[in-house]
Structure 1
Amino acid sequence: MLHQDLMNARVTAALCRAEQRRLARDARAAAGSADRAGTVRARRDAYERAA
């Protein structure tokens, strides 16, 4: 029984790590798109000011 508990704990830990990696990747992707959107907006504002 102890062996089964250990295996369950390992599986749970692996799933938690995978979920953390996924959340971190999603957060990085969201930050990247927000950064790109900000850059595009800033560039458009600069063009409008120059025009």
Structure 2
Amino acid sequence: ACDEIYLVKEGETLHTISEKCGDPYIVEENPHIHDPDDVFPGLVIKITPFNLR
């Protein structure tokens, strides 16, 4: 399970975070992410786990 506010760690991608947190809509929920490949450690993203939708 992930917190609603998630801090990206070294080596993570939006894909791995999406699988880990159960949120397939990370890009849609985070308009500050312009390029899904441009994710870096320390980036803060919003997570809404699928079971809370």
Provide TM-score, normalisation by structure 1: 0.22
| Higher-strand-fraction structure | 2
**Highest relative contact order (Cα 8 Å, sep 6+), 1 or 2?**
2
**Relative to total residues, which structure has the larger helix share, 1 or 2?**
1
Q: Say which one has the larger Rg.
A: 1
